[in-house]
Amino acid sequence: MNAQPPFPVSADAVHFQRPELSVILSLYGRMVAAGEWRDYGISALRDVAVFSVFRRSAEQPLYRIEKRPRMAAKQGMYCVIGMDGRILKRGQDLKTVLRVLERKLIRPVD
């Protein structure tokens, strides 16, 4: 018996692979524990996979972590985009790109 998913699945959509999601969810867990983030959403589109991070689920995302394979040979496949639409970091290595968000965890002690 073949069960159809309740949503349309495109074979040519870009997805995060398990190792990529592991890296992203590790950072997400630390940020949730620190009280910075509260919710996330994942989108798999034809040209881009997006992991959106929210402070509250009803708001627009604080950050978007995007994977664009077509940009791999140019500026890098991964990028982090802020709430205002600015690209905060772009590159080939996901862990290196996510460091821009890890700096938010490290706060100076008064």
- Domain extents in the chain: 18-101
How far apart CA 1 and CA 11 sit, in angstroms, is 21
Pinpoint the alpha helices (H) of the chain.
Answer: 18-33, 94-102
pTM for this model (two decimals): 0.81
- Residue 76 zone, left/alpha/beta (φ > 0; ψ -120 to 50; rest): left
Q: Is the pLDDT of residue 26 over 60?
A: yes
Higher pLDDT pick, 103 / 37: 37
Q: Where are the beta strands (DSSP E) in 1-110?
A: 39-44, 49-54, 63-67, 78-82, 87-91
Residues 55 and 38: beta-carbon distance below 8 Å: yes
Q: What is the pLDDT of residue 73?
A: 84
pLDDT tens-digit series, residues 57-82: 667 899 999 999 888 888 889 999 99
Q: Is the pLDDT of residue 8 over 70?
A: no
